[in-house]
Amino acid sequence: MASVTQPGARTGGFRISKRVLPYVLSLPALLVCIGILIPFFTAVIYSFQRYRLSQPWARQFNWGENYLNFFTDPGFWNTLRISLVYAGVTVGLELLLGLGIALLLQRRTTVNNFISIMLLLPLMTAPALAALMWKLMTNPGFGILSYFASLVGLENFRWASSPDTALLTVVLVDIWVYTPFIMILLLAGLRSLPTQPFEAAALDGVPRTFVFFRITLPMLTPYILTATLFRLLDSIQQFDIIYAMTQGGPGDTLTVFQVEAYLNFFQSTNVGRSAALLIILWAITYILSNVFIKNWLRLRERARGEA
Amino acid sequence: MYDKEKDLISAFLRGEVDRRGLLKGLGAAGLTAGTAGTLFNMMSTQALAADFDWKAHSGKSLKLLLNKHPYADAMIANLQTFKDLTGIEVTYDVFPEDVYFDKVTAALSSSSSEYDAFMTGAYMTWTYGPAGWITDLNEWIKDPSKTNPQYGWDDFLPGVKASCAWNGQPGGALGSEDAKQWCIPWGYEQNNLSYNKEMFDKVGVSVPKNLDELLVTAAKLTKDVGGGVYGIGVRGSRSWATIHPGFLSGYANFGQKDLNVSADGKLSAAMNTPESKAFHAKWVQMIQESGPKDWSTYTWYQVGTDLGAGASAMIYDADILGYFMNGGDNKMAGKLAYAPFAANPAATAPTPNIWIWSLSMSNFSKDKDATWYFLQWATGLEHAIFGATKMDFVNPVRASVWKDEIFRERLNKSYPGYVEMHDISAPGAKIHFTAQPLFFDLTTEWAATLQKMVAKEVPVDEGLDKLAESINRQLAEAGLG
Amino acid sequence: METMSPLERILRGIALTLVVIFFMFPIVWIFLMSFQTNETILRIPPSVIFTPTLDNYAALITGKLTTAAGTLDIAFMRNLGNSVFLSVASVALALVLGVPAAYAFARHKFRGSEDIAFTLLSFRFAPPLLVLLPLTQYFQWLGLSNTYFGLIWVYQLICLPLILWIVRGYFEDISADVEYAYRIAGHSWFSTFRKIALPLAGPGIAAAGLLAFIFAWNNFVFALVLASADKQPVTVGALAFVTASGIQYGQIAAAIVLSITPTLALALYAQRYLVEGLSLGAVKG
């Protein structure tokens, strides 16, 4: 346990008191990150300004007007809705799929180990490049997937270029890239579960579904939470895949937060609105991560108590 | 050594011998093309140097920000000439076009002094100028001590030159008396038809003369060419780039505008008129019937690649895009032809909207005088001739290059109808947008609206009314409406 | 578990095959594409019969790209080098800073420790653009724009929280008893950390480092905004094949293949640590 009393820390020739030591160890990491985080506060200030790069003379504080405008701006509500839908759908599907694959690969055989490493390949493909790959494969002329679609009778399947299927297509790419991330975390979890409860259940002839829902799933919960947390927070901030595939189109189908903010900054040079959008996104992720980490810590404590 | 040849080149540079005479003479003297080129550059350098101190900034160094483009390639191929001429060292960063303008915005918005000059389009200067990122170049152009006497500012095509000048007032006319020259035109594009002659002949259609004919022709091509070929390629991505080529060229031909400017300088949306709605309806119908299946992702690249690969029968887009697709290892190389296009049957001539690749000077440049040396060389006649005849530097922005016999002949030989197309549509060619700081907001939303119309998510009338309403709201919010 | 009916065996086999096809097919297809010319790629319908060519790779490696509008210079190998350098340096720095901090959080409950740990993790979740946009200004003032140093610093936002979080969990899961015994024997704190704690946490550190490497390698927007052309990674460099005079599909495919290779090699090398490292690591409750 962490609270063991320890003799005064001694490093080489000089002594660091044990009270100071942890700070000495952790502060460099904190400082490095905080240095980078100073711009965060600048962005907060921007978000309270009327600030367009193309109208520098009109720059002034408008205290919250950028935020108030969101209430009457259908574009904003669309952004909020599509971001949440995107995050929910991708993480949900990836979790199911990742869990399924992890269960298939649970046994430590050479074949399974080899497959699990191969399945990591998509994760190693940069999302920006993965989007490029899928664009090539879904091209209506020479794209192999469009060809397959036409073979099964979907002659005019338009993938990312139709508002009906654009979300489906980017979700597919997201699933392709990130399911391996969830899979590898859950596989690690499955393989580290203690064996006794399962052996006991097998001896008692407990049905497999019961074992899965009552033993495997609860014991796996911390892993699922961690995987979900990391993925959810990344997914709600998705940029690379959507920007590379459709730039937020067709229409306003995929204008998620970071895409909208990027276009606001780089094309419209409307810094105020861009910053306000990002602050709202930050608030959402902060609240989400808080909820998750609290739960995670509680689970961890409980696991420790039981051990 | 080479004395006779040097005399001949000097004579050419003085204007006593024309270009063909020069090359013929050099050929007779047994010079290889390569040597002739070197000699020519050497002599041009001497001629340029005759009455202007090109060495005034010798030893300095400049850095450029360039887009990956044939214009940049042509300049880089000739850059040694500039270095020899001035003694100025030049380095450059080249970025792919997908991210190029974001990179420019990132560099300039942080007041970076990294780059002295960069490539831009006129539309972008409507942001960069008021933001204080670029310099009004009039100060240099009009100063004889800084600009070489042979620069020939009057040689630039007037419509193109004016399109790069704006007084900074939202809605202010381009090229007005009080306009600031935010950039120098380098090369430009008109939007007309480039078509696959073989496919047209096969199906037995002639070049359409107006929008209605275009719809019919494109539909017939889609139906009859076969092999999945579609009738007409136009851009469709959610971006300003969808609005400015064929779409706005045709739109302007009907006398329609993006914005109205009132007497007191207030702006309001102008795209919900009955004429505009009729035009939009036809345009949308054309894409639905005869456009590419994934039109809403189409940018310059897809429109061009399809034409070059024989997947589309024609495009209503930049003339130089059709030009590129007629060469290299494109499947359809040599099979393309060109025609001017006036969408309005009542119009007397085409009114293509234009895109102008230009050069701007960064306001954060540490040495503006030296930067101007580069700009006047890169936009000068010598380099324009070099680019137009040896590289793919089309379309040139100088009248005298268009008069160059070698250039015209080269185009006429491999690009049927190109020169004629240019000459017919050039008088009506200019930027048809209203210059104002919300240009990108307006055009991005316009493109998104078009996408919704094509996907039948919203009817044309309603879509345009909503668009106008939204634009007016944004204009008011920005204090412009 | 040990008993599996033949039917279940078959179903499992089918499911696994489908999974492998879904995840591997795009990679295989792009791999095939990288050996084709634009002409064969653009055939309708697509076909797997073609004469393989190494031209795409040759163009990338020599840096000469032939297009409709003549020969272009490309710096793909330089982009690749930048990716390697930026990722390795960033992960190395993150390990140097993150592992001791993780150790501190795991072994010492000190005032504010949870707050500091949470703050560090929350950096992982700040929208990158939010930080990036004002950062261009600050980097300009500090003279850090367009330096590897500045980039590596920003990359810490990706690498450091990840390493900290995973390695911390790993330290917490290995008993402190061994360390304690070693300390009692009169060894210094530092030598305990170096000789006992670090080796025991090896797999966790390796797994965290590998994941951080992957995320650093895949980053796109940081370098794009903050650095000039000679410091761009492959993710930006691969866009260079989309040129005004045409799209070089074959070269894009070859570029993607080359850009996956280094991470794949690393993952194959470190595979035995990956699952093991993660299973004992932070993800466990």
> What interface predicted TM-score (ipTM) does this complex get?
0.84
Alpha-carbon distance B291 to B282, whole Å? 12
Does residue A180 have a cis peptide bond before it, meaning omega lies within 30 degrees of 0? no
Burial group, residue C186, by CB count within 10 angstroms (0-12, 13-18, 19+): exposed
Q: And the tokens for A176? A: 């392709």
The pLDDT tens digits of the residues spanning C115-124 come to: 777 777 777 7
The pLDDT tens digits of the residues spanning B24-81 come to: 555 554 444 444 455 455 555 555 556 788 999 999 999 999 988 888 888 998 999 9
Looking at residue B18, its pLDDT comes to 57
The pLDDT tens digits of the residues spanning A90-121 come to: 999 999 999 999 999 988 888 888 888 888 88
Of the partner residues C230, C242, C246, the one whose CB lies closest to the CB of residue B308: C246
Residues in A touching B297 (Cβ below 8 Å): 135, 160-161, 245-246, 249-250
Looking at residue A305, its pLDDT comes to 58
Q: Does the residue A15 lie in any domain?
A: no
The secondary structure of residue B7, as a DSSP letter, is H
- Between strands B89-95 and B61-67, the pairing is parallel
Question: Is B325 an interface residue toward C (CB < 8 Å)?
Answer: yes
The residue of chain A nearest to residue C20, with distances taken between CA atoms, is A119
Of the partner residues B99, B302, B324, the one whose CB lies closest to the CB of residue C68: B324
Question: Is B301 an interface residue toward C (CB < 8 Å)?
Answer: yes
Contact (CB, 8 A) for B397 and B422: no
Of the partner residues C38, C140, C226, the one whose CB lies closest to the CB of residue B329: C38
The pLDDT tens digits of the residues spanning B243-252 come to: 999 999 999 9
Check residues B436 and B478 and name the one with the higher pLDDT: B436
Residues in C touching A185 (Cβ below 8 Å): 278, 283
DSSP letter string, B420-477: HHHHHHGGG-B--SPP-TTHHHHHHHHHHHHHHHHTTSS-HHHHHHHHHHHHHHHHHH
Domains and CATH numbers, chain C: 6-73 (no CATH), 77-280 (1.10.3720.10)
Say whether A29 and C23 touch across the interface (CB within 8 A).
no
Alpha-carbon distance B198 to B196, whole Å? 6
Looking at residue A8, its pLDDT comes to 43
Q: pLDDT grade, residue B1 (50/70/90)? A: very low
Tell me the count of A-C CB pairs closer than 8 A.
289
Question: Is A154 an interface residue toward B (CB < 8 Å)?
Answer: no
Looking at residue A29, its pLDDT comes to 82
Query: What average pLDDT does the structure give for chain C?
Result: 82
Could you tell me which of C277, B325, C158 has the C-alpha nearest to residue A33? C158
Say whether B305 and C67 touch across the interface (CB within 8 A).
no
The number of CA neighbours under 13 Å toward the Cβ of A288 is 24
Residues in B touching C244 (Cβ below 8 Å): 67-70, 97, 300, 324
Q: Does the residue A35 lie in any domain?
A: no
Say whether C23 and A180 touch across the interface (CB within 8 A).
yes
Q: pLDDT grade, residue B12 (50/70/90)? A: low
Contact residues, A window 265-294, toward C, CB-based 8 Å cutoff: 265, 271, 274-275, 278-279, 281-282, 285-286, 289, 293
The three-class DSSP label of residue B191 is: strand
Question: Is A53 an interface residue toward C (CB < 8 Å)?
Answer: no
Of the partner residues B228, B297, B452, the one whose CB lies closest to the CB of residue A141: B228
Looking at residue B7, its pLDDT comes to 64
Residues in C touching A12 (Cβ below 8 Å): 188, 190
Say whether B99 and C239 touch across the interface (CB within 8 A).
yes
Residues in A touching B306 (Cβ below 8 Å): 141
Looking at residue B48, its pLDDT comes to 56
CA distance A72 to chain B (A): 11
Q: Which of B230, B297, B312 to mutate to test the interface with A (most CBs of A within 10 A)?
A: B297
- Put simply, whether the predicted model's pTM sits higher than 0.90 gets the answer no
Q: Does the residue A20 lie in any domain?
A: no
Looking at residue B390, its pLDDT comes to 84
Question: Is A100 an interface residue toward B (CB < 8 Å)?
Answer: no
Could you tell me which of B135, B150, B147, B165 has the C-alpha nearest to residue B368? B135
CA distance C68 to chain B (A): 4
Contact (CB, 8 A) for B165 and B174: yes
- Between strands B267-269 and B259-261, the pairing is antiparallel
Q: pLDDT grade, residue C266 (50/70/90)? A: confident
Residue C46 has pLDDT above 80, yes or no: no
Residues in C touching A9 (Cβ below 8 Å): 188-189
Overall fold of domain B60-187+359-428:
D-Maltodextrin-Binding Protein; domain 2 (3.40.190)
Tell me the count of B-C CB pairs closer than 8 A.
102
Alpha-carbon distance B81 to B381, whole Å? 13
Looking at residue A5, its pLDDT comes to 39
Cα–Cα distance list, A124 to A104, B12, B234, C24, C130 (Å):
22, 60, 35, 12, 25
Query: What average pLDDT does the structure give for chain A?
Result: 83
Contact (CB, 8 A) for B353 and B431: yes
Query: Given its phi and psi angles, is residue B168 left (phi above 0), alpha (psi -120 to 50 degrees) or beta?
Result: left
Contact residues, A window 69-98, toward C, CB-based 8 Å cutoff: none
Say whether B114 and C146 touch across the interface (CB within 8 A).
yes
Alpha-carbon distance A52 to C39, whole Å? 46
CA distance B433 to chain C (A): 23
Q: What CATH number is given to the structural domain containing A148?
A: 1.10.3720.10
CA distance B237 to chain A (A): 7
The pLDDT tens digits of the residues spanning C170-223 come to: 887 777 788 888 888 888 878 888 888 888 888 888 888 988 998 899 888 888
The pLDDT tens digits of the residues spanning A136-190 come to: 888 877 788 888 888 887 777 778 778 788 899 999 999 999 999 999 888 888 8
* Beta carbons within 8 Å of A113's beta carbon, 6+ residues apart: C271, C275
Alpha-carbon distance B145 to C106, whole Å? 71
Q: Does the residue A7 lie in any domain?
A: no
- Between strands A60-61 and C64-67, the pairing is unpaired
Q: pLDDT grade, residue B11 (50/70/90)? A: low
Residues in B touching C42 (Cβ below 8 Å): 305, 309, 311, 331
Residues in A touching B102 (Cβ below 8 Å): 266
Residues in B touching C239 (Cβ below 8 Å): 96, 98-99
Q: Does the residue A68 lie in any domain?
A: no
Question: Is A143 an interface residue toward B (CB < 8 Å)?
Answer: no
Q: And the tokens for C276? A: 């093991």
Residue A87 has pLDDT above 90, yes or no: yes
> Which chains touch B (3+ CB pairs under 8 A)?
A, C
CA distance C59 to chain A (A): 19
Say whether C101 and A233 touch across the interface (CB within 8 A).
no
Contact (CB, 8 A) for A51 and A264: no
Q: Which of A46, A49, A51, A53 to mutate to test the interface with B (most CBs of B within 10 A)?
A: A53
Q: Does the residue A4 lie in any domain?
A: no
> Which chains touch C (3+ CB pairs under 8 A)?
A, B
The residue of chain B nearest to residue A163, with distances taken between CA atoms, is B455
Q: pLDDT grade, residue A19 (50/70/90)? A: confident
Domains held by chain A: number = 1
Residue C29 has pLDDT above 70, yes or no: yes
Check residues C263 and B401 and name the one with the higher pLDDT: B401
Residues in C touching B333 (Cβ below 8 Å): 68
The residue of chain A nearest to residue C157, with distances taken between CA atoms, is A33
Report the length, in residues, of chain B: 481
Cα–Cα distance list, C91 to A20, C95, C191 (Å):
26, 6, 23
Looking at residue C279, its pLDDT comes to 63
**Domain B190-353+434-477 CATH superfamily:** Periplasmic binding protein-like II (3.40.190.10)
Of the partner residues C100, C131, C249, the one whose CB lies closest to the CB of residue A36: C131
The secondary structure of residue B172, as a DSSP letter, is P
Alpha-carbon distance B204 to B185, whole Å? 40
The number of CA neighbours under 13 Å toward the Cβ of A124 is 25
Say whether A56 and B438 touch across the interface (CB within 8 A).
no
Question: Is C203 an interface residue toward A (CB < 8 Å)?
Answer: no
Cα–Cα distance list, B166 to A231, B129, B163, B245, B379 (Å):
48, 9, 8, 21, 19
Question: Is B294 an interface residue toward A (CB < 8 Å)?
Answer: yes
Question: Is B106 an interface residue toward A (CB < 8 Å)?
Answer: yes
Check residues B422 and A247 and name the one with the higher pLDDT: B422
Question: Is B476 an interface residue toward C (CB < 8 Å)?
Answer: no
The pLDDT tens digits of the residues spanning B173-224 come to: 999 999 999 999 999 999 999 999 999 999 999 999 999 999 999 999 999 9
CA distance B473 to chain A (A): 10
Looking at residue B47, its pLDDT comes to 56
Question: Is C75 an interface residue toward A (CB < 8 Å)?
Answer: no
A187 lies in which domain range? Answer: 78-306
Lowest mean pLDDT among A138-142, B231-235, B313-317, C94-98: A138-142
The number of CA neighbours under 13 Å toward the Cβ of A54 is 27
Say whether A267 and B296 touch across the interface (CB within 8 A).
no
